[in-house]
Amino acid sequence: QLQLQESGPGLVKPSETLSLTCTVSGASLSSSIYYWGWIRQPPGKGLEWIGNIFYSGTTYYNPSLKSRVTTSLDTSRNQFSLNLRSVTATDTAVYYCARESVGSAGERYDSWGQGTLVTVSS
């Protein structure tokens, strides 16, 4: 059974770096039929796509965050990570990791982590 679990600090100071890890069980990060993504949701607001990473290391980022975002894969640990630099209060959100299935049937985020609230505050 596929499970994704986010982990990382729940409180980050302004101007510092937000770092989260998603641990995946029940699927391999090395598969060519999945992308691994990060999505966030500020309190009371809608969903915002942050970025995707493919098993090859290819990344796609939201242009609104691109200058501050880095994602990476650790296939030996079956984990992928998010780093968001120079955070401000507007980066306070629930952060989700998710699996995107790709292929001829259509793309979709079909599995999500439970989400982790990250608050940016001094």
Partner 1 sequence: AIQLTQSPSSLSASVGDRVTITCRASQGISSALAWYQQKPGKAPKLLIYEASTLESGVPSRFSGSGSWTDFTLTINGLQPEDFATYSCQQFYSYPLTFGGGTKVEIK
Residues that bind partner 1 (CB under 8 A): 37, 46-49, 52, 60-64, 96, 98, 100, 105-110, 112-115
Burial of 46 (0-12, 13-18, 19+ CB in 10 A): exposed
Residue 42 Cα distances to 26, 27, 48, angstroms: 29, 28, 8
One-letter amino acid identity for 112?
W
Q: Based on CB atoms, which residue is closest to partner 1, 104 or 122? A: 104
CB of 59 to partner 1, least distance (A): 10
The nearest distance, CB 5 to partner 1, in angstroms, is 11
Closer of 81 and 116 to partner 1 (Cβ): 116
55 or 109: whose CB is closer to partner 1?
109
| Closest distance to partner 1 from the beta carbon of 1 (Å) | 13
Considering only CA atoms, which of 117, 111, 115, 113 is closest in space to residue 35?
A: 111
